[in-house]
Structure 1
């Protein structure tokens, strides 16, 4: 394995080693800002310039050249020195970013305005940047800051005659940033080191300072109430704006997009809670009888973390309230029965305390109290939710469609909203932007960039097809008169129906079977049993036992167990679905296909055609393959290639004691159309795949076994591994190379093989969008750019090889391109080759006759991760919904329980695309 490992190994582009072997290409010239249509060369890259990923050695040229608009705007960087300060308070880990922002604002405006002129910018955590070096002794100084503003009359009253809380804020200068390093980086003459990263961070803090002081914010987005939508259940959607300063060849750009924030509905807390629970009677909030334990935990999960203002009964209308308090939990008793210890040693109920203190009885004494940050219990009726408060929880599933409808915008409408957002962002009016010398050129409008539309790959179908080779148009094709490339066979099967027989009777069931058989014949699936056993079962019964009984009924009829179990489900049967998949994939190793009663009972031919796409691959068939010429990298007989997709999924924010799940998917066939998968469980929120070595070894063994045993090829180990990695952020690229790459290499060494490895990160969580320049230059149906639009210049990395590929034809809203970063490349692929290959792999997703947004193996890995809960016995009571229910040792014990109860796939299931 010599010559592959280490930091100077081939493919890494680390000055001297990594990029030099990839061809010299045309002579490099220094890049400069350009308009689309003006050809520019590569940045001048010195041999001393180190990179994390592969150095760019050329641009792609394949496809039809076009120009598109993108949601980027030119940005002129500062010229003066920027001073970097650490901002530290004793409670920095527990204080919310908004409170930190308020403290720094008070520090600069009230406590020491004579020092902080001009004002510094702050990120809400540790980083403060200034254009001025403050005259602190030894470059450090500590300030006492309170949230009481003496300039405002009727400031919050003092409790127990104590003064307001004093926060210690310590500032220490840690660095001086010369923007020249950033200019050199953009020109390809400087490595992306800590100085460059800090300079980019500083510019982002500068553009975000003004809006974060004025509006509710969430990391890189802020939200205004100019466009809102009440979606019920106590939630209101606000339109927001995302902004990020990004480097590109020769210049900095600002990426601006619209976003959506989910807010708590403002107003009294009690109506908010009633609306969330879907009830009207206030007594439904009176624990334990009116509000049982299950609903109380559900409500607590919704409102915990929310800030509330407290309306004390004796408070004058014009008297300023105390700062908002954060809800930690809600009580299991009402205010009239919830007791606490008094300072003098006695006891009192919460209701008695408020009667005695404010001489006013509570209107709803049986309703719960909320425990706030300092441990105090406040009656719910005294709490008011202020407007513009972000709900940092997952939106309930029943409201997902409302959020989607609000956030989905036609491309032209989205671009207009982004342009309008420039007025809200008001860069030219921000004192912070002006004093740093940062200039955002909004007047020039969205950036016009060079793009190309790649030619789609030709796809091959099976014998008997009227048109065995087809070329997709605008990201789609149809299955009319086509047979699957390799159709599966079904000897015996059974139907289990969980819808009530009154709603899904024998005639409907018979018609459904007939329609499914017709669809199977149309695509070449040979179903030998034409009259399967049909059983009606109760969803309240024991699912595993019902599935086994169905299997035995099939055996009694056919003298063999079923190849396929078709299950008809009523609406909202998620738990039932999980139990069925656990039985099929984990316990029995039999293919299961779930159908919705409402859809399959109507006999829609298109619906059953789509069902056949799934059934065929679950039974080991292949739907379609790309024509060899379209994927020459994969079909090169001298270089057998295995394509892998990997992903990790993490528990929801604030969930403790929940594991992360990992998935690895790989092809086993020569055509890169038949995939297998492995799923594992690991420590919570650990991004690097812990079992990657064992998972990779298993994939390689199955690949070689399939090629030898099924395709009857001479045992040739794979010469190339293409590893598409999903879900890692730019800050984790180095970890992929330092942790996951060695695990892949060790798996190869254990099998005594030496394939060349290429690692590509596929990113979906970004805000880059493309728009046709005119209505005639895009998809007429959706207004999006055409499927196959690729951009690898103008807005990409200044030095490293990356590209954006919009591989699908979006139907609703504005399509999001995938972002591909080439981290490691021992195969020395040219830009055109990787771009065309990635596009082709977006066409072999078995579940549709449309190209998808990311390569099929990555898409499959994402699905496998999200289905990890199928690996748990439904009777084991593994709860995936609870949040904030375990901490410390309890969370650790809960995590170990998840790990020990995780079941592996059945040996039969491992060999097919069960996840389709």
Structure 2
């Protein structure tokens, strides 16, 4: 246990919340004590809480259009920020002294009540930008109305962090106000998104019209006994500054502007791909008076400037190319090249558009750029902490007039040191014939040397299907693969015989028909179809992979194992041993189990337990008409090693799982059926406990989980006539808390990260609710991210130690790996099942499953969603009890969670 304070009273971090306060999740019952004590650093900095009152105003923007009455208009956040800055420093500096802070949308906060009373409107004009000339029509006038809506006594924050105040709207608004205070100064200077801003001090050109900028994330977070500012580095993907034409050519990888001419065969497919990339970019365009006019790109024209005509007021017509030559004295160098369409249908030739610096690309990063982004974003712990410290100079809290005015003092002398513990890893158990049946991982890693699977599968008949030409991937290479798989399987106990069915297929042909032909060849040779198809894929064979998984797993019900051809040439035994980890569970085997003594909470025979993992993934930003996909994964065995999955499709961007009741009922039914038929547990096979890990839910949605998903779980149990006790734990990955070893500490691994099993539940935890941070995996690249566990509901009354050790143990049973993973295996599986949902669609059905942004109106989007719902194919019954989803997805997983 941590030491007591000299006064005899417990340290602030040991104080438990008052019993009278209301919490969303479970009130913290106590702190963990298991494991080896350690002191680490976190990327948080202590800040004082302001004294006194903060005044909250609501902001509404209007644009004054000549003689027309003012009309409320949604403006870009950057324009809103500029308007408020102009209001406070140019329009009426007397009223706004000292200046207040603004979030760019609706909220304005001031340390004093403004002199105008409860509400007032102001006329505001934006100052001219550098190089911009005034319009003959005069400046554009905006009306801004501020309305006083609340006063905030900051004493509630002192009570909240002390565990004596419920988390109500007043607390939430007060925390919001402090966040707006610290973000105000940098957002007036730098490009920004919600909580990060980016500078060009450190950047990297990654090609394709894009570059990466180093950014800094900051967030005020309440903690136990104090308020903290969490600071981290982040990465912004930016459009390059300069001529738009150059960016377009770089994106489509062509050196000559004439390629963008429809007359010369510029394909519509390429034009639409380019349109998706540049739509939404702000550009500067020429004006007859020489003014710079900012416009936003809507789409690209289907014809070149010399072929696009418009009507003149006198009844004649003119082409776009003629217009710019005659009225602006700008003859075009490339009159056949397409134009951009900006507001109200105006067409501007590409060569006349300039892209200003500092524009964030708010779309999915192109897949081919993923590695470049990760390389830029990845920093070793020591380097990351140095960058964070350097970021304090950019943030410059002491120099911000807003931070000073609100009375916040930030301790920037160093990152916060906190109490941590390093948990003991679980004991893992392998099968008979292993030289060492039980092992204890070291820093989240172990090996398969001379070990046999706990329950090896049997490969009855199998085939090898090659989607490479026989010239590149010949018979001898194919035979080497067969020999390698056989040797790998036998070394771990899988029963397998050689196959004589080797089929070379055309990847451009009908994938489903090719797989059926290979299966029929197996029937003709052995009298029975295969229970495994090993597929050799060419480089860039993603479309083939998706089709194989659809026709193999979903339609035919045959397990498929895909291998890249480049990995198979002269592959070593270790490669095929790793392949066997996936094959075994896909065929119903079990690789390893946690030793029952290590996970007593899961293996208590008097309290049979089912562990569930649930997730929802959403389409990429801007991808209208795509659905969201849901997954529920759970163990069916008593050793929590064999998992089954349910997958569904639902309304786009809906976070709560729509069909959780039916999904949970199906899973529970499988659990009871497996225990009855396979484990012979007798008639009483119902679970006594459900531990439900939920991924991907923000703190603001915790109450919805309790209202909707907990109710759905209880309803599923009621349908089945069972009454297990339920525990709900949200696993958060998209946060910016990082652990760093103390300088010269022995508690770090070879990558400089804190060791696997490092847990913190004190200084940086929630002031009143049951949560903890656990870094369960050893470092590989960069700085490891701990997972944040928030316990929302707990009828099982687990202690902190019980849930921390249980969660850590579940990170060691991910079947694909001989390393612990960053989140419990059922949650990881649910994430993978969601991502594989596209395999449930027939590749020939014509549904666009790419992550490219698509601009659709609401009616088109709804029609598209209906098509996705109808086209979703259920999993083949043969695969229902098999772990068909055991795949490696670490790069995609890392990219998804990069913030």
For residues 448 and 288 of structure 1, what CA distance do their matches in structure 2 show?
65
For residues 207 and 557 of structure 2, what CA distance do their matches in structure 1 show?
43
Are 1:272 and 2:241 an aligned pair?
Answer: no
- CA displacement at 1:46 relative to structure 2: 2.9
Q: Which residue of 2 aligns with 1:178?
A: 153
Could you say if the C-alpha distance between residues 102 and 31 of structure 1 is closer, same or farther in structure 2, counting changes exceeding 3 Å? farther
| Aligned mate of 1:157, from 123, 134, 138 | 134
For residues 355 and 471 of structure 1, what CA distance do their matches in structure 2 show?
77
- CA displacement at 1:352 relative to structure 2: 1.3
- CA displacement at 1:153 relative to structure 2: 8.3
For residues 142 and 714 of structure 1, what CA distance do their matches in structure 2 show?
75
Are 1:135 and 2:110 an aligned pair?
Answer: no
Contact 2:61 2:74 (C-alpha < 8 Å) held by counterparts: no
Q: Which residue of 1 aligns with 2:335?
A: 365
Are 1:483 and 2:463 an aligned pair?
Answer: no
- CA displacement at 1:48 relative to structure 2: 2.5
For residues 633 and 482 of structure 1, what CA distance do their matches in structure 2 show?
26
For residues 559 and 154 of structure 1, what CA distance do their matches in structure 2 show?
80
Q: Which residue of 2 aligns with 1:207?
A: 182
| Aligned mate of 1:431, from 380, 401, 416 | 401
SS of match in other structure, 1:572: coil
Q: Which residue of 1 aligns with 2:67?
A: none
For residues 671 and 93 of structure 1, what CA distance do their matches in structure 2 show?
59
Q: Which residue of 2 aligns with 1:654?
A: 622
| Aligned mate of 1:873, from 815, 839, 842 | 842
Are 1:304 and 2:279 an aligned pair?
Answer: yes
1:15-26 to 2 correspondences below 5 Å: none
| Aligned mate of 1:252, from 213, 227, 244 | 227
Are 1:291 and 2:266 an aligned pair?
Answer: yes
Could you say if the C-alpha distance between residues 391 and 92 of structure 1 is closer, same or farther in structure 2, counting changes exceeding 3 Å? farther
For residues 346 and 720 of structure 1, what CA distance do their matches in structure 2 show?
79
Contact 2:455 2:591 (C-alpha < 8 Å) held by counterparts: yes
For residues 155 and 886 of structure 1, what CA distance do their matches in structure 2 show?
35
Q: Which residue of 2 aligns with 1:11?
A: none
Residue-pair matches, total:
875
Q: Which residue of 2 aligns with 1:3?
A: none
Contact 1:777 1:785 (C-alpha < 8 Å) held by counterparts: no
For residues 609 and 680 of structure 2, what CA distance do their matches in structure 1 show?
16
Q: Which residue of 2 aligns with 1:145?
A: 124
Are 1:706 and 2:674 an aligned pair?
Answer: yes
For residues 855 and 30 of structure 1, what CA distance do their matches in structure 2 show?
35
1:442-453 to 2 correspondences below 5 Å: 442-443=412-413, 445-453=414-422
Q: Which residue of 2 aligns with 1:321?
A: 292
- Comparing 855-864 with 181-190, greater Cα deviation is found at 181-190
Deviation by residue 1:812-842 (Cα, 9 ceiling, x = unmatched): 1000000000000000000000000000000
For residues 416 and 93 of structure 1, what CA distance do their matches in structure 2 show?
43
Contact 1:269 1:384 (C-alpha < 8 Å) held by counterparts: yes
Q: Which residue of 2 aligns with 1:857?
A: 826
Contact 1:635 1:670 (C-alpha < 8 Å) held by counterparts: yes
Could you say if the C-alpha distance between residues 63 and 674 of structure 1 is closer, same or farther in structure 2, counting changes exceeding 3 Å? same
| Aligned mate of 2:804, from 835, 846, 852 | 835
Contact 2:16 2:30 (C-alpha < 8 Å) held by counterparts: no
Are 1:101 and 2:81 an aligned pair?
Answer: yes
SS of match in other structure, 2:138: coil
Q: Which residue of 1 aligns with 2:703?
A: 734
- CA displacement at 1:479 relative to structure 2: 0.2
SS of match in other structure, 1:593: strand
- Comparing 85-94 with 98-107, greater Cα deviation is found at 85-94
- CA displacement at 1:167 relative to structure 2: 2.1
Could you say if the C-alpha distance between residues 611 and 388 of structure 1 is closer, same or farther in structure 2, counting changes exceeding 3 Å? same
Q: Which residue of 2 aligns with 1:82?
A: 54
| Aligned mate of 2:192, from 207, 210, 217 | 217
1:442-481 to 2 correspondences below 5 Å: 442-443=412-413, 445-481=414-450
For residues 315 and 508 of structure 1, what CA distance do their matches in structure 2 show?
70
Q: Which residue of 2 aligns with 1:577?
A: 545
Deviation by residue 1:130-179 (Cα, 9 ceiling, x = unmatched): 11111224x01112222245xx7875332xx4333322211111110000
Contact 1:781 1:811 (C-alpha < 8 Å) held by counterparts: no
SS of match in other structure, 1:441: coil
- CA displacement at 1:764 relative to structure 2: 0.3
Are 1:603 and 2:578 an aligned pair?
Answer: no
Q: Which residue of 2 aligns with 1:743?
A: 712
Deviation by residue 1:672-729 (Cα, 9 ceiling, x = unmatched): 0000000000000000000000000000000000001000101321000000000000
SS of match in other structure, 1:567: strand
- CA displacement at 1:776 relative to structure 2: 4.0
- CA displacement at 1:47 relative to structure 2: 3.0
For residues 856 and 16 of structure 2, what CA distance do their matches in structure 1 show?
54
Q: Which residue of 2 aligns with 1:616?
A: 584
| Aligned mate of 1:912, from 882, 889, 896 | 882
- CA displacement at 1:315 relative to structure 2: 6.4
Q: Which residue of 2 aligns with 1:696?
A: 664
SS of match in other structure, 2:703: helix
Q: Which residue of 1 aligns with 2:603?
A: 635
Are 1:346 and 2:321 an aligned pair?
Answer: no
Could you say if the C-alpha distance between residues 41 and 904 of structure 1 is closer, same or farther in structure 2, counting changes exceeding 3 Å? same
Are 1:113 and 2:93 an aligned pair?
Answer: yes
Contact 1:42 1:57 (C-alpha < 8 Å) held by counterparts: no
Contact 1:288 1:332 (C-alpha < 8 Å) held by counterparts: no
Gaps of 5+ in 1: 1-24
For residues 508 and 804 of structure 1, what CA distance do their matches in structure 2 show?
48
* TM-score with structure 2 setting the length: 0.95
For residues 335 and 540 of structure 1, what CA distance do their matches in structure 2 show?
37
For residues 819 and 286 of structure 2, what CA distance do their matches in structure 1 show?
56
Deviation by residue 1:467-491 (Cα, 9 ceiling, x = unmatched): 0000100110000000000000011
- CA displacement at 1:56 relative to structure 2: 0.4
Q: Which residue of 1 aligns with 2:204?
A: 229
Q: Which residue of 2 aligns with 1:8?
A: none
Are 1:57 and 2:32 an aligned pair?
Answer: no
SS of match in other structure, 1:89: strand
Are 1:556 and 2:536 an aligned pair?
Answer: no
Deviation by residue 1:57-96 (Cα, 9 ceiling, x = unmatched): 1000000000000000010010021000111124777421
Contact 2:749 2:778 (C-alpha < 8 Å) held by counterparts: no
Contact 1:92 1:125 (C-alpha < 8 Å) held by counterparts: no
For residues 306 and 399 of structure 1, what CA distance do their matches in structure 2 show?
19
Contact 2:452 2:493 (C-alpha < 8 Å) held by counterparts: yes
Deviation by residue 1:355-395 (Cα, 9 ceiling, x = unmatched): 12113311111111111234321111111111111111111
- CA displacement at 1:301 relative to structure 2: 0.7
SS of match in other structure, 2:368: helix
1:66-77 to 2 correspondences below 5 Å: 66-77=38-49
| Aligned mate of 1:721, from 681, 687, 690 | 690
Q: Which residue of 2 aligns with 1:802?
A: 771
Gaps of 5+ in 2: 63-70, 887-899
Contact 1:330 1:371 (C-alpha < 8 Å) held by counterparts: yes
Contact 1:30 1:44 (C-alpha < 8 Å) held by counterparts: no
SS of match in other structure, 1:489: coil
| Aligned mate of 2:653, from 685, 697, 711 | 685
For residues 490 and 386 of structure 1, what CA distance do their matches in structure 2 show?
60
For residues 74 and 293 of structure 1, what CA distance do their matches in structure 2 show?
55
Could you say if the C-alpha distance between residues 29 and 49 of structure 1 is closer, same or farther in structure 2, counting changes exceeding 3 Å? farther
SS of match in other structure, 2:443: coil
For residues 31 and 500 of structure 2, what CA distance do their matches in structure 1 show?
57
For residues 345 and 181 of structure 1, what CA distance do their matches in structure 2 show?
69
Q: Which residue of 2 aligns with 1:812?
A: 781
